[in-house]
Structure 1
Amino acid sequence: MTQPESTHEAADRCPGGLALLITDMISLWDFPDADKLLPAAAAIAPRLAALRQRCHEAGVPVIYANDNRGRWRSDFRELVDKARQAGGPGAHIVEQLAPHTDDYFLLKPKHSAFFATPLELLLADLGIRQIIVTGVSSDQCVLSTVSDARMRNIDALVPQDCIGTQGDERNAAAIRHFSEVLGVDTAASPGLQLRPQPPEPSA
């Protein structure tokens, strides 16, 4: 069933400071070493889908950030359709995580979802002060995004059951880095408190 077009503008969706960012989970998986990363993405997809549903129910905005991989005429909706039509594990991920009409999306040219994208402006427009960063890969795009968020004084949460990379050992190392080096909360997604916090009073 086709969902109706959303009429929400960013300013209408201010949740009081929290958003979910889903990184690089919608893909054709046709890049080098994709076969090593796809199993991790497939493994976290059900947990990420459950978290996304909780965010929708709590009024927490959901933002998709995907690589354009140098394809400057890329279109996110077209990518969703192509990934679904490609079949296999990638299509199953799309079936679980296909964006709703009220979700936001952006295409990124490099690892970080902040680099050369409107993400910072979108977060400001939504009144976001904290982001839940999820997806793949934990030790590259997720890590770069979290580092850039911190430089912008945006707090980041990285639920360890909703990130993955090429192999369990690498992913465990990434989780330790988030927790021990960056001091980022890596508690599993079921424990996340998603009730939006009230905006800070004006000075």
Structure 2
Amino acid sequence: MPRTALLVIDMLNTYTHEDAEALVPSVREALPGIATLLRNAGACDSPVVYVNDNFGEWRSHHGEILKAALDGRHRDLVEPVAPDDSALFVVKARHSIFFETPLAYLLGQLKVERVVLCGQVTEQCVLYSALDAHIRHFDVVVAADAVAHIDADLAAAALRMMRTNMSATVCLADEVAFDTRQPQ
């Protein structure tokens, strides 16, 4: 099996944005799947990379972003999936986790060939990230029960697009296998 990394997208969130109230119920539903992926990736020593918006605070580092999210309106949505000390962190500015970030370089250094995407928002950041992973020749897996959406219809269409147009494997979190082999 190729070296696999779990990519956790935008889960450190203050939930103060315009679409927050529409998103929150779906995040609650996705939390168990994300927790399963985090647990299984950790058990196999697979890399876990949090890729997160910086809320427009260009002087922020990951500790400040995590603190802002934990101090936000929905600490209960952040705390269960907060990064541990072994997690890696990449800050992004816009939708795709690859757009003008060092993520592709980091994954190359880790000898990752397969990425598992989870987090938010299915029809936005997850979709654009899946496309960018696909065009960079990563095998893409999306855990459908570990992604949150604002619009259920658009999210369903996005998952179909990822499966059809990007050759992504769309499955449930407990069906995702992580590699136990260390990179050479």
Correspondences of 1:82-93 after superposition (within 5 Å): 82-87=68-73, 90-93=74-77
Residue 87 of structure 2 is matched in structure 1 by: 103
Offset at residue 165 of structure 1 (A): 1.0
Correspondences of 1:47-66 after superposition (within 5 Å): 47-66=33-52
Residue 171 of structure 1 is matched in structure 2 by: 155
TM-score (norm 2): 0.92
Offset at residue 16 of structure 1 (A): 5.9
Hey, what's the Cα distance between the residues in 1 that align with 2:30 and 2:3? 25
Hey, what's the Cα distance between the residues in 2 that align with 1:174 and 1:74? 31
Residues 11-35 of structure 1 deviation map (CA, whole Å, 9 limit, x = unaligned): xxxx961100000111101112121
Offset at residue 170 of structure 1 (A): 2.2
- Alignment-mate amino acid for residue 148 of structure 1: D
How many residue pairs get aligned? The number is: 184
Residues 73-98 of structure 1 deviation map (CA, whole Å, 9 limit, x = unaligned): 122211212222235xx211221011
Gaps of at least 5 residues in structure 1 are 1-14
Offset at residue 192 of structure 1 (A): 1.3
- Alignment-mate amino acid for residue 59 of structure 1: D
- Alignment-mate amino acid for residue 179 of structure 1: R
Correspondences of 1:67-86 after superposition (within 5 Å): 67-86=53-72
Report the secondary structure of 1:180's partner residue.
Answer: helix
Hey, what's the Cα distance between the residues in 1 that align with 2:72 and 2:146? 24
- Tell me which of 120, 124, 128 is aligned to 1:140: 124
Offset at residue 70 of structure 1 (A): 2.4
Deviates more, 1:33-42 or 1:137-146: 33-42
Correspondences of 1:1-203 after superposition (within 5 Å): 17-87=3-73, 90-196=74-180
Report the secondary structure of 1:19's partner residue.
Answer: strand
- Alignment-mate amino acid for residue 146 of structure 1: A
Hey, what's the Cα distance between the residues in 1 that align with 2:182 and 2:48? 18
TM-score (norm 1): 0.84
Deviates more, 1:21-30 or 1:67-76: 67-76
In the TM superposition, structure 1's runs of 4+ consecutive aligned residues that sit over 6 Å from their partners are none
Hey, what's the Cα distance between the residues in 1 that align with 2:22 and 2:84? 28
104 and 127 in structure 1: CA distance in 2 versus 1, 3 angstrom threshold: same
Identity between Structure 1 and Structure 2 (%)? 30
Q: Indicate conservation of the 8 Å contact 1:40/1:167, yes or no.
A: no
Residues 74-123 of structure 1 deviation map (CA, whole Å, 9 limit, x = unaligned): 22211212222235xx2112210110101001110111111111101110
